[in-house]
Amino acid sequence: MTRMPQATESNADALPRQQRTYSIGELAQIFEVTPRTIRFYEQEGLLAPSRQGQKRIYREKDRVRLKLTLRGKRLGFSLAEIREVVMMYDAMPDGNARQLKRLLELLEDKRANLARQLEDIRLMRLEIDDVDQRAREVLRQLEDTP
């Protein structure tokens, strides 16, 4: 029982199974990246779209994956880090205890990382505000004395 593509999650809403799909170009436009980037993410194991002949077909799940990936990137995570979490998440349903515990550790790591980032943001904001103040003052001086 490796994988059941059918009805997996709790999102088994009453919706009819008419999944919306995307071409690579559409997805690229939505997230303002190039198709190259999306193919690259696939090559790196972050996406696994199905095919229709030769063409890649992206479902909602893939779109969400991409969204999460890009969010991770904006936060400075490497693709390797992102993949690690994503793959563990996928392996979760039939994962053994060791893997699950490893996943929990990983998550704790990420949490710590985010916490530090929050602090960094706080400090950087203070500095930016400070520089802003000074700049405005100097500017006022300049404009007050023609």
Partner DNA sequence: CAAGCACTTTACGTTAACGTAAACCTCGTC
Partner DNA sequence: GACGAGGTTTACGTTAACGTAAAGTGCTTG
List residues near DNA by CB under 7 A.
Answer: 23-26, 28, 33-37, 39-40, 44, 53-56, 73, 78-80
Q: Which of 48, 80, 87, 118 binds a second copy (CB under 8 A)?
A: 118
For residues 51 and 57, is the Cβ–Cβ distance under 8 A?
yes
CA–CA dist 5, 50 (Å, integer) = 12
Residue pair 58/67 in contact (Cβ under 8 Å)? The answer is no
Of residues 35 and 95, the one with the C-beta less far from DNA: 35
**Which CB contacts under 8 angstroms, 24+ apart, belong to 65-68?**
66/27, 66/31, 66/38, 66/41, 67/31
Residues contributing to the site for a second copy (CB under 8 A): 2, 68, 71-72, 74-76, 85, 89, 92-93, 95-97, 100-101, 103-104, 107, 110-111, 114, 116-118, 120-121, 123-125, 127-128, 131-132, 134-136, 138-139, 142-143
